A and B are shown apart, each in its own frame.
Chain A
C-alpha cells in the first residue's frame, strides 16, 4: 500500500487519476447530453493545451500557431466525412453529383486529386496524424537548426497561421472558404449525430486525452523530459555537453502538433464542422492561455485551464458579452504578472502545504520539496530576483541564440 502511495506521489499519477475520475465518471453522471457535448468540445482544446505544456513549459518554445495543427487535423477528418456525406445519391440535384456541395457552388466539376485519399478512413486517419506532424517537422527543423528561438519562432508560427487562414478562405472551391466544411454526418455509415454516438465519442475523446497525458507524463519522467527542462534553462550548457539540442526541440514541437491534430479531429467528430475561425491567430493565442491558466508546467492543470476558460467564455459571452474581453485581458495580464505558474502553481503554493499539515506522515516529505512533481516555470520565480537573467537572454530579439548567455 505504501509503495503504491509513494509511486503515486512520485509520478504525479494521483492528480491524473482524479482528473480521469472527474472526466469519465463525474461529468457524464451530472450533466445532460448537451452540456456533456460542450465539455467534450472543450476537452478537444485540452489536447492543444497539453501539447503546449510539453512545448512551452518543458521545451521553453512558445508557439502561437497551434491552431494550424488543430485546424489541419480537423480539416483532414472533415474532408473524409464530407466525402462520405456527399455521395452521388444525396447530391444528385448538383450539376456534378458526388462532389462536396461547396465545390459544386464554385463551378468545380471534378474532385481535386488531393481530396482522393480522403475517401478511405485509414488513409484519412493517417493523414490526421502525419500531415500536421510533417508540417511541424519542416517548420521546426528549418528554424531550430539555425538556432532561431524564442520570440522569432513565435512570430514565424503566427505568420504560418495567417498564411493557412488566408489560403483556406481564399481557395473557397477547394476548402469551403469562410464557412468551412459543414453538414458532416457519418463515418462508414455510423451516424455521429445520435445521442448514443455522442456518448461514445465523448468517452473516446476522454480516453484519448488521458492516454496523451500519460504519454507526456512518461516523457517528462524519462531522461528526455529532464533534457527538455535542462535545455529550457541553459541551452548552451546542454549543447556543450554533446546533445543535439535542435532535434529535441523539433521533437517537442512535433509532439505538440500531433496532439493538437488529434484534438482537431475529435473536435470535428463531436461538433460536426470545421472552419477557418478555429485556425487563425486569435484562437491560437487563446489556446496558449488555456495552458497558461492551468499552469504551463502541469499537464493536468492544462486540462482544467481549458475547461475553466471555456466555461467562462461560454457563460460570460452569453450573459455579459461586453465584459468577456476585459476578463480575458485580465486573465492574460494576471497570469503573466501575478501567478505565472497558473492554477497548478496556486495549488502547489497554497493548497498543498495545508494538506500536508493535516496529514502527519507525508508532511515532512512535501514540506522539504514543495514542488516535487511540478518544476518551477522559470528560474525567475523560484530564486532571487537577480538570479534569473540568463533565461531571458536565450530569447533576445535578434533571435539567434548562443552568442552570449
Chain B
C-alpha cells in the first residue's frame, strides 16, 4: 500500500465522520432550539423529521406522475415544503398540546411520546409499513473524484452543505434577528420579557414551530442517504437528545461541537471494531462524561 492510498483512505474515513457529523448536527439543531432554548422535551422530534422525509417522497412521486420534465429540479422546492409542513404541524401541536405543559417537563415527555406513537401509526396507515425512498435527481447521485482512488459521494457533500447552511441560518436568526432577541429574552427571564412587551406565548409557539421545521429539513436531507419508514425518526431520538445534552443545553455552539466530537469518536472507533461496539463505546463515553460534567461541554452562562 503506497502513501497516497493511505492518504485517500484517511480522507475518505474522515469524510465518513463528517457525514455522520452533519447528520447528527441536523438532528440536534431543531432539538437544540426546542429543548435547549425552551426546555421542552419533544420526544416526537424524530417524527417531525419523518414528516420532512415523507414530504420529499411525496414530491418525488408527484413530479414523476405529473411533471416528468421537472424531475431534476424538484428537490430544493421539496426541502422548502418539508420545512413549511413541519412548521405548520409544529405550530398546531404547540397550540394543542405543548402550551399546557410548560411547567411540567416530565409530563411533556410522556405526552409527546404518545404523540410520536400516534404519528408513527398515521405514517404507517398512509404510506404503508414498508420503507420508501424518493427518486433522487441525477445531480445528487454518483461521486466526486478529485484525485485518483479518492471517491467522495455527492449526497454526503450535499448534506454537509445543507447542514452548514441551516446551522448558519439558525445562528444568524438567533443572534441577529428580532425573533432571536425575543427568544433569548424569554429564555433568560420570562416575566421580565413579558413586562417589556414581548408576547412570550407567541414567541414560544413560533420557536417550537421553527424547531419542528428544522427537523423537517433534517428529514429531507436524510432521504438522500437512506430510506424512510414509519419508525425511522424514533431511531434517532436518543442520539439527538444526547447531542444536545452533551453539548450543553442552551448553547448552539456546544451542539455543533458535541455533534462533531460524537461523530468523530464513533467513526474512528468503527475503524477498529464492529459498528455496534463502536456505538456502545461512544454512548458510554458520553454518559460517563455527562455524569462527571452534567452541564455538558459548553455550559450556558444564563442564570435560571
Contact = CB atoms under 8 A, between A and B. Distances in A.
Contact of B111 (A147, A332, A398): A332
A151 B115 CA distance: 18
Contact of B238 (A281, A329, A399): A281
A146 interface: yes
Given A170-B276, A325-B121, A404 B97 contact: no
A292 interface: yes
A330 interface: yes
B238 A162 contact: yes
A155 B114 CA distance: 17
B114 A329 contact: yes
Interface string A277-311: 00001000100110010000000000000000000
Interface string A121-145: 0000000000000000001001100
B105 interface: yes
Nearest to B277: A170
A335 interface: yes
Given A160-B287, A170-B274, A403-B303, A336 B111 contact: yes
A306 B245 CA distance: 32
B18 interface: no
B47 to A, nearest CB: 11
B121 A326 contact: yes
Contacts of A380: 103-104
A200 interface: no
A94 to B, nearest CB: 25
A154 B107 CA distance: 12
A169 interface: yes
Contacts of A326: 117-118, 121
Interface string B246-263: 000110000000000000
Given A281-B238, A399-B249, A328 B276 contact: no
Nearest to B114: A332
B279 interface: yes
A150 B295 contact: no
Contacts of A398: 249-250, 295, 299-300, 304
A331 interface: yes
A319 to B, nearest CB: 16
Given A156-B287, A289-B110, A397 B249 contact: yes
B109 interface: yes
Contact of B109 (A151, A330, A396): A151
Contacts of A154: 41, 106, 109
Contacts of B7: none
Contacts of A400: 294-295
A395 B109 CA distance: 12
What does DSSP make chain A's interface, helix, strand, loop or mixed?
Answer: helix
B104 A392 contact: yes
Given A163-B287, A378-B104, A392-B104, A143 B294 contact: yes
Contacts of A337: 97, 100-101, 111
B280 A158 contact: no
Interface in B280-304: 280, 283-284, 286-287, 290-292, 294-295, 299-300, 303-304
A182 B41 CA distance: 37
Interface residues of A, number: 56
A151 B113 contact: no
Contacts of B91: none
B104 A333 contact: no
B21 interface: no
B35 interface: yes
A155 B286 CA distance: 12
B152 to A, nearest CB: 29
B167 interface: no
Contact of B241 (A146, A158, A333): A158
B149 to A, nearest CB: 32
A170 B250 CA distance: 34
A142 B113 CA distance: 27
A322 interface: yes
A61 to B, nearest CB: 9
A156 B293 CA distance: 13
A321 to B, nearest CB: 10
Contacts of B284: 163
Interface string A382-405: 000000110110011111100110
B110 A292 contact: yes
Given A62-B106, A337-B100, A159 B286 contact: yes
Interface string B108-129: 1111011101101100110000
Nearest to A288: B110
Nearest to A61: B106
B280 A332 contact: no
Contacts of A64: 109
Nearest to A323: B121
Contact of A166 (B107, B108, B280, B286): B280
B117 to A, nearest CB: 4
A340 interface: yes
Given A163-B280, A380-B104, A62 B109 contact: yes
Contacts of B242: 155, 159
A152 interface: yes
Nearest to B108: A336
Interface string A192-218: 000000000000000000000000000
Given A163-B287, A398-B295, A336 B304 contact: no
Contacts of A156: 287, 290-291
Given A333-B97, A337-B97, A399-B245, 8 more contacts: A146-B291, A150-B106, A151-B39, A155-B242, A388-B103, A397-B105, A398-B304, A400-B294
Which 8 pairs between the two chains have the least Cβ-Cβ distance? Answer: A332-B114, A170-B276, A329-B118, A397-B39, A392-B103, A325-B121, A142-B291, A148-B294
Interface of A: 56, 62, 64, 139, 142-143, 146-148, 150-152, 154-156, 158-160, 162-163, 166-167, 169-170, 281, 285, 288-289, 292, 322, 325-326, 328-333, 335-337, 340, 378, 380, 388-389, 391-392, 395-400, 403-404
12 contacts: A143-B294, A146-B291, A146-B294, A148-B291, A151-B41, A155-B245, A159-B283, A170-B276, A328-B114, A336-B114, A337-B101, A396-B105
